[in-house]
Amino acid sequence: MRLSFCFILSLSLFVISCKPSYQEPLISLEDYKVEEGFELQVVASEPLLTAPVAIDFDTKGRIWVAEMNGFMLNLEGDGEDSPSGTIKILEDRDNDGIMDHAITFLDSLVMPRALALVYGGLLYAESPNLWFVEIENDKPVNRVLVDSLYATVGNPEHQPNGLMMNLDNWIYNAKSNFRYQRRDGVWHKEPTTNRGQWGISHDNFGRLYYNNNSTQLLGDHILPNRLVRNKYFVPKKGVDETLTKDNRVYPLHAASVNRGYEEGVLNQDSLLVNVTAACGPLVYRGGMYPEDYDQNVFVCIPEANLIKRNILTFYGDRVEAKQAWQGKEFLASTDEGFRPVNLSNGPDGNMYVVDMHRGVIQHYAFLSPYLKKISADKKLDTILNYGRILRVRAKDTPVREIPDMETLSASRLLELLKDSNGWIRDRAQQYLIHKKDKGVLPELKNLALNNNSPLAQLHALYVLKGLNELSFDFLQELALSGGPEAASHAIVLMEEYASEKNVPKAKALYAELLKRNDPMLDLYLSTTLGIWANYDEEVFFPFIYNLSSKYKDTMIVQEAILSGAEGVLPALKLQLERLEDLKNSDLDVLAAASLERQESNSPNYIFSTQVARADSRTNGAVLFRQICASCHSSSGEGIRGLAPPLVGSEYITTHLEQLGLIILHGLKGPLEIKGELYDENHQMPGLKYNKNLTDKDISDIISYVTNAFSVNPKGLKPEKIKELREVKSKDGMEYTEKELYEQIGK
């Protein structure tokens, strides 16, 4: 199959060399199978682009693409630091739906990983920086450094990416605990929950979805930042939730995967059983697919050359998901060059697939000898200089015209807030804010109060927020008249107007909303009562007692209450101890733990500004931040759902040789740290095959982590590291905890 494909491609490239640039190459899709009722189309391909990893659309329908050309050019990962990356603008000049022309917008970039068209310009990530440039005649002008520490150097699989504008006018990222926003020309950066690994998406309500390699779909049950206002509290419910525990995959062929040697990774037919490199989730909001596809979440599984479909179900206080089918996938291929790494809603309502189309996509630092050999045998490392963008279109649907919002009036943009396509609604919202046309304020306010257009309601509300045209009285009216979703957003936005003056109105409003007995409203009221209690504890503490008792078995509500209560925590804890029904309750226990962290000045790591006792001048500190912090966090507290804490781990404080074995050879779960189980479905790959890490480097890492995350700094000499390189596990691969304990006795 590969020979016939290469022949077709070679023939097409010969044709291109003899004809104008608008002649598109012919790419065969005979190795691809898409769900019945849909068709797969090639929108862009080599030679117009190479190794695409992220895209965005402008309102002319052009595709802006980041190319990570330097990634895994060979099995040794050479050339990764070379300035070979580009950002291009792809155009369809003959209007046949296929891109036929490319403009290089930026070149000489090192591993560009993310981009977003926002604020009339382009926001893009090039390690370690986050940049914003204005656009003038398709050229970059007035470049501004937004964040010099956006993505510190290291494995690109474990560095921030995504750059997605959400409903709330904030830009969120995967693999990052910061969000960004530009107001009046000034960039703002705020802490937020650390989310996922590669790719991020949002639903119509504004909840976020993401994943990691071993868990195909994670997400938040609640709007961003509602559970992290209390700096001394780390939520365990509501954010970073596994939405579907079913990680089964159904590939069409025996694809090559990094840990195929491990028992249970492949079945008896050598087919992958569960995901190992899930990435690029997308909530479909295009409005052009059948109704039962609305707000489904599609997930890229590049290691098995397929894309999954998950169906979301929304409840007031949670989101649930399940795979659409057992035994088949939405899109799958036998082409091992097919590497879907990102997905995007398009302005035409279709879903677009970013196909990096590279034979080897496992970073060299974690490339197992098993996959390295297979890749060499199959010559996967020779699949280079390719790149595709595919369009998945529902059959028998019309081709819709894309409105050029740059030229539209504010009144016309206002109408687009009602569009069935979420991409159109999102972009119209941002253009309305950017234009700052106050002439449409009456219509905006009417639309925000119009329950007949619930989606447009939310967009209109956040246009008003972006224009600084909200008020407590307006939000009060919306909360009283709107449905649960609109009222919940009103509750969130009302916090900005929390004051002693507004206490009587808030008291009356919240009493009325509680009468509705609606789980969604109760959840968002729980998040805000502590904020209002700063102005009158006697008024709002009884509301807190009511909700805590009502939802005594619902942990997310207890955590939501605590999240907003940092300013009144000592008083709240004192009152809880006096109430028989709430003494020793979950809320009481959470409050005690939060107070203890506050007294010891141990904030949630997302608010940490420095690592205790960390010496950033040492080689170990630099290497830790480059290689380890993306999973274990810079503070060593771990990242829920991804990696366990190093702080307090016996492997850091006691068993140094076992720590050396873990770093060198890797570790597979389950693993128990301080009585809590971690990594049931994860493996930490070893670093012994990383050609750039010496024995001295490994020694330096151990010296650093024992200094930073334990009270007794210790170390292993490079000579001992060299010795441990040869101490292998029973199967020669990653260690298990049981094997490590056996090593302790030796």
Q: Residue 18: pLDDT above 60?
A: no
What is the per-residue pLDDT for 681?
65
DSSP of 645-712: -STT-HHHHT-HHHHHHHHHHEEES-EEETTEEE-TT-EEE-STT-TT--HHHHHHHHHHHHHHHSSS
Q: Encode pLDDT of 424-455 as tens digits.
A: 999 999 999 999 999 999 999 999 999 999 99
Contacts of 538 (CB under 8 A, 6+ apart): none
As a whole number of angstroms, the distance between CA 51 and CA 708 comes to 38
Q: Residue 127: pLDDT above 80?
A: yes
What is the average per-residue pLDDT within 353-374?
87
What are φ and ψ of residue 165, in 5° steps? -75, 125
As a whole number of angstroms, the distance between CA 673 and CA 687 comes to 22
Max distance between CA atoms of the chain, in angstroms, equals 85
Q: Residue 154: pLDDT above 70?
A: no
Q: Do the beta carbons of residue 99 and residue 120 sit within 8 Å?
A: no
| Distance of alpha carbon 634 from the chain centroid | 18
What is the per-residue pLDDT for 5?
36
Q: Residue 119: pLDDT above 50?
A: yes
Q: Residue 304: pLDDT above 90?
A: yes
What is the per-residue pLDDT for 579?
93
Q: CB 254: neighbour CB atoms within 10 A?
A: 16
Q: Residue 20: pLDDT above 70?
A: no
Q: Residue 17: pLDDT above 70?
A: no
Confidence grade of residue 701 (pLDDT, cut at 50, 70, 90):
confident
Q: Which of 162-171, 323-332, 393-402 has the lowest mean pLDDT?
A: 393-402
Q: Encode pLDDT of 241-295 as tens digits.
A: 999 999 999 999 999 998 888 889 999 999 999 999 999 999 999 999 999 999 9
Contacts of 64 (CB under 8 A, 6+ apart): 55, 56, 57, 58, 87, 88, 89, 90, 105, 115, 117, 122
DSSP of 87-133: EEEEE-TTSSSS--EEEEEEEEESS--EEEEETTEEEEEETTEEEEE
Exposure string over 316-354, b if 16+ CB within 10 A, otherwise e = ebbbebebbeeeebbbbbbbbbbbbbbbbbbbbbbbbbb
Q: Do the beta carbons of residue 297 and residue 312 sit within 8 Å?
A: yes
Q: Do the beta carbons of residue 739 and residue 730 sit within 8 Å?
A: yes
Region label for 246, one of left (φ > 0), alpha (ψ between -120 and 50) or beta (otherwise)? beta
Helices and strands (H, E) in the chain, number of each type? 21, 30
What is the per-residue pLDDT for 614?
34
**Average pLDDT over the chain, rounded to whole?**
89
- Of 172 and 22, the structure prediction assigns the larger pLDDT to 172
What is the per-residue pLDDT for 745?
57
Q: Encode pLDDT of 225-241 as tens digits.
A: 999 999 999 999 999 99
What is the per-residue pLDDT for 11?
34
Confidence grade of residue 708 (pLDDT, cut at 50, 70, 90):
low
Q: CB 411: neighbour CB atoms within 10 A?
A: 11
- Of 165 and 654, the structure prediction assigns the larger pLDDT to 165
As a whole number of angstroms, the distance between CA 433 and CA 417 comes to 12
What is the per-residue pLDDT for 594?
96
Q: Which of 566, 565, 708, 719 is nearest to 648 (CA)?
A: 708
Q: Encode pLDDT of 572-622 as tens digits.
A: 999 999 999 999 999 999 999 999 999 999 999 898 754 333 343 357 777
What is the average per-residue pLDDT within 626-634?
77
Q: Encode pLDDT of 384-427 as tens digits.
A: 999 999 999 999 999 888 999 999 999 999 999 999 999 999 99
Q: Encode pLDDT of 64-82 as tens digits.
A: 999 999 999 988 888 888 9
Torsion of CA 631, 633, 637, 638, to 10 degrees: -10
What is the average per-residue pLDDT within 566-571?
96
DSSP of 245-271: ---B---SS----TTTTSTTTB-TTS-
What is the per-residue pLDDT for 666?
82
What are φ and ψ of residue 557, in 5° steps? -70, -40
What are φ and ψ of residue 555, in 5° steps? -65, -35
